[in-house]
Amino acid sequence: MSTDNTKRSQSHKTWLQYMNMKNSTRSDWLRTNNSGDFSGKSFPKSPYLAFKSTLRAALWLGLLAFGTTECLAQGCIAIRNNPGTPLMEGNFSNGIETGQWVSAVAYRWYKSDRHFTGDVEQPQRRTLGNYVENDVHSFDFSATYGIDPRWSVTLDLPFITAARSSLYEHDLVNRHSMHSQGFGDIRVLSDYWLFDPHTSKNGNIAVGFGLKLPTGDDKASDLSYRTTGPVYRPVDPSIQPGDGGWGFVFQMQAYHKLADNLFGYLSASYMITPQEQSGTELTVADVPAFAAFITKEIKHNTIADQYSARAGLSYLVWPSQGLSLSLGGRVEGLPAHDLIGGSMGFRRPGYAVSGEPGISWSSGKNTLGLNVPIAVYRNRVRSAPEQRLGRPGGDSAFADYSILLNFTHAF
């Protein structure tokens, strides 16, 4: 084994020893590994907490003025908000007319703190107190314009406010939180129904293509509380508003009437990201104790592809009031290898499979929907750098469920 590989193996063993270490022994570990030897400039306290209440009030007001988009997965696997925007209403009968505008807002909340390596949960992280927890609120504001009844274009603007609590991103002994907030990567999307919506109310298929622009901040930073004092470091990629790269979105949506008031639905989306890395350092890339472990392959954040798929049934239980119930499943995640370009850089690839009950109400030009995806299977797969370096797969924190609330208004 080469000297470099030996150092990497020893460093990985050291990291695993820390992950299974009790809080009472971490101070000794810090002194032994000289992990208190940090450099960096101290900064004032993050304005997040003062800003949070004002932000929350303002964005809840925004829920009353916009409409539907689809939100994606939850956890340390950094899936940005909806790569695509669904066209289908709750009753699958309303289309966008020529020259019509439809506005939408979607809200998503989740809290992830259950760790998985592969599909095996790591309950000792909670027992030992060294688990990581993400608490994320995100919003997607969108406006769709009907070029004609079959062809539409959508502009989508996401917003995120998030907190991430951990030990390892700080002094490895005391729990602290890092925060981020801001607008994410803008998406411009175009969708086309293959059949005329006016004459194909019992079933239709839409295909779409879109462009994701790197408008969101991929270098959002906050205070990391080290043994020598706080330093300003980039937050984890799972709560960065943007990923720093361009993306190409491919999506499809379909529905079919199976019986009176009963429809089957299907949607899928994949975003290709040709760029490999963003240039933003991993939060702990400056920690001497992990220098051998954090090699050039994972020192900077990756720009990863992402995917999602949904399928299920929707039943119009109260046609006169536009009330529908739905039940389906969804899968969403990040691949270990991108379709185009390299796959190096730090990422936590994996996917979550969820059961998804939902309810929607349509009245006139308005539609309100609530979905609650509940995770039934989670898998953190080995990343491309882990495979190249011969390391076992790391872990990721997943949520048990998320709450998706959306509102649409057609002008």
* pLDDT tens-digit series, residues 102-137: 999 999 999 999 999 999 999 999 999 999 999 999
Q: 281 in helix, strand or coil?
A: strand
CB atoms near residue 332 (< 10 Å): 23
Q: Residue 241 has what DSSP assignment?
A: S
Q: Is the pLDDT of residue 25 over 80?
A: no
The token pair at 114 is 């259950």
Q: Which among 346, 347, 45 has a CA at the least distance from the CA of 179?
A: 45
d(CA 7, CA 124): 26
Confidence of residue 83 (pLDDT cuts 50, 70, 90): very low
Phi, psi of 131 (to 5 degrees): -70, 160
Q: Is the pLDDT of residue 41 over 70?
A: no
Q: Is the pLDDT of residue 1 over 80?
A: no
pLDDT at 292: 82
Mean pLDDT within 270-275:
97
Amino acid at 380: R
pLDDT at 293: 87
The token pair at 127 is 């027992």
Residue with tokens 């609650």: 372
**Which is more confident, 231 or 30?**
231
Phi, psi of 249 (to 5 degrees): -100, 130
Mean pLDDT within 320-348:
95
Q: Is the pLDDT of residue 55 over 70?
A: no
d(CA 117, CA 168): 17
pTM exceeds cut of 0.95: no
d(CA 196, CA 199): 6
Q: Is the pLDDT of residue 326 over 60?
A: yes
pLDDT at 65: 32
Q: Is the pLDDT of residue 176 over 80?
A: yes
* pLDDT tens-digit series, residues 351-409: 999 999 999 999 989 999 999 999 999 999 999 999 999 999 999 999 999 999 999 99
d(CA 125, CA 135): 17
Confidence of residue 17 (pLDDT cuts 50, 70, 90): low
Confidence of residue 96 (pLDDT cuts 50, 70, 90): confident
Q: Could you tell me if 18 and 30 are in contact, meaning their C-beta atoms sit under 8 angstroms apart?
A: no
pLDDT at 288: 86
The token pair at 38 is 């940090």
Q: Which among 379, 385, 360 has a CA at the least distance from the CA of 370?
A: 360
d(CA 19, CA 136): 24
The token pair at 408 is 């649409």
* pLDDT tens-digit series, residues 183-202: 999 999 999 999 999 889 89
Q: Could you tell me if 352 and 388 are in contact, meaning their C-beta atoms sit under 8 angstroms apart?
A: no
* pLDDT tens-digit series, residues 288-316: 888 888 999 999 999 999 999 999 999 99
Q: Is the pLDDT of residue 95 over 70?
A: no
d(CA 160, CA 236): 14
Q: Which among 248, 301, 295, 305 has a CA at the least distance from the CA of 278?
A: 301
CB atoms near residue 409 (< 10 Å): 19
Cα angle 181-62-312, degrees, rounded to a multiple of 5: 90
**Ordered structural domains, the chain, with CATH:** 3-410 (2.40.128.130)
pLDDT at 36: 37
